[in-house]
Amino acid sequence: MTSPDASALPQHIARLGELRQALAQAVVGQSTVVEQLLIGLLAGGHCLLEGAPGLGKTLLVRSLGQALALQFRRVQFTPDLMPSDILGTELLEEDHGTGHRHFRFQPGPIFTNLLLADELNRTPPKTQAALLEAMQERTVSYAGTTYSLPAPFFVLATQNPIEQAGTYPLPEAQLDRFLLHVRVDYPSEAEERDILLHTTGTHSGSVPQVMDGDTVVALQQHVREVHVGEDVLTWINRLVRASRPGPDAPEAVRQWVKWGAGPRAGQSLVLAAKARALLQGRFAATREDVAALAAPVMRHRLLLSFAAEAEQKRPEDVIEALLAAVPFPA
């Protein structure tokens, strides 16, 4: 991978500000959600969005694709969806001149830059695994041939936390492949009033194109160059290790956690902190970046115990206790 042009970095960072303004023209509020999605994009990871229906998840992803001038596709995951429905299939074609028949691979909707996997937990494990393998490897293998996915490649999967009947919960090993687990909450009273005002009239918010795919790829490479100090790196390492039950773990972890986060959580937290720093125009990650992203990075990587469920504890409660119990290196 070639190093990005350092002279173009100020222009690229200015484009990030334009990107947030462009999204604000179509999406009312949800500033934290927008920030976390942009962090996932810059870090080169994928995001799992969880929220009740009607909160604008599809609108947000479509607006992001329009602002980035990227190809956007949406797949509604259903119980009868097959892996070939998203990966692609081979078609038998005949040359009418020679009569020769041959197979041609027809790419599926996964061959795009921005994929919205709507209600991922409503499709069987076989189809889930096919998508998640492509997310991890950035390739699709079919009939002995490997096809590369376009760059950038960003998956936003959604799941409804309310209805669990007829769903197939993602296993922990597959959840671990998502960089961030983003919670989409209800808007504030003022934000909801603005939504009513702007979506029930004749004016529809248009999203200008402010960035192309090449700029996104360049920014993803710039993220890797953001500095992380030894103290921040040590704190991230200790936070992740402290999430695993053991005699030296914080009391909240011993009481409420059955399985803690693995090394991929540390990698994700470092990259996410770097991306947040660059998104805010800084070239060094801070402890504030780590604290702000600890929950979306780790909430889907903690398996809580029966005691935690009985006490109605959430992963966020454990993460809050971790941030308080693990001191920042002096």
pLDDT of residue 5: 61
Candidate from 11-15, 88-92, 313-317 with smallest mean pLDDT? 11-15
Candidate from 1-15, 90-104, 171-185 with smallest mean pLDDT? 1-15
| pLDDT range class, residue 277, cuts 50, 70, 90 | very high
Mean pLDDT of 166-186: 87
How many CB atoms lie under 10 A from the CB of residue 320?
Answer: 15
pLDDT of residue 1: 47
Residue 14 has pLDDT above 80, yes or no: yes
Residue 54 has pLDDT above 90, yes or no: no
pLDDT of residue 272: 97
Q: Comparing 273 with 170, which gets the higher pLDDT?
A: 273
For 265, phi then psi, to 5°, come to -65, -40
Query: Which residues contact residue 224 at a Cβ distance below 8 angstroms, ignoring those fewer than 6 apart?
Result: 271, 274
pLDDT of residue 186: 86
Residue 220 has pLDDT above 50, yes or no: yes
Query: Which residues contact residue 149 at a Cβ distance below 8 angstroms, ignoring those fewer than 6 apart?
Result: 110, 111, 134, 138, 139, 140
Residue 169 has pLDDT above 60, yes or no: yes
Helices 31-43 and 263-279 meet at what angle, rounded to 10? 110
| pLDDT range class, residue 6, cuts 50, 70, 90 | low
Q: Comparing 178 with 2, which gets the higher pLDDT?
A: 178
How many CB atoms lie under 10 A from the CB of residue 242?
Answer: 21
Mean pLDDT of 75-100: 87
Mean pLDDT of 125-141: 88
Residue 2 has pLDDT above 60, yes or no: no
Mean pLDDT of 127-150: 88
**Mean pLDDT computed over every residue of the chain:** 88
Share of the chain above pLDDT 90, in %: 51
Mean pLDDT of 180-193: 88
In b/e form, how buried is each residue of 211-237, taking b as 16+ CB within 10 angstroms? bebebbebbbebbeebebeeebbebbe
pLDDT of residue 85: 93
pLDDT of residue 211: 87
pTM of the predicted protein model: 0.89
- Most confident residue range from 46-60, 70-84, 144-158, 229-243: 229-243
Residue 147 has pLDDT above 80, yes or no: yes
Residue 96 has pLDDT above 80, yes or no: no
pLDDT of residue 248: 87
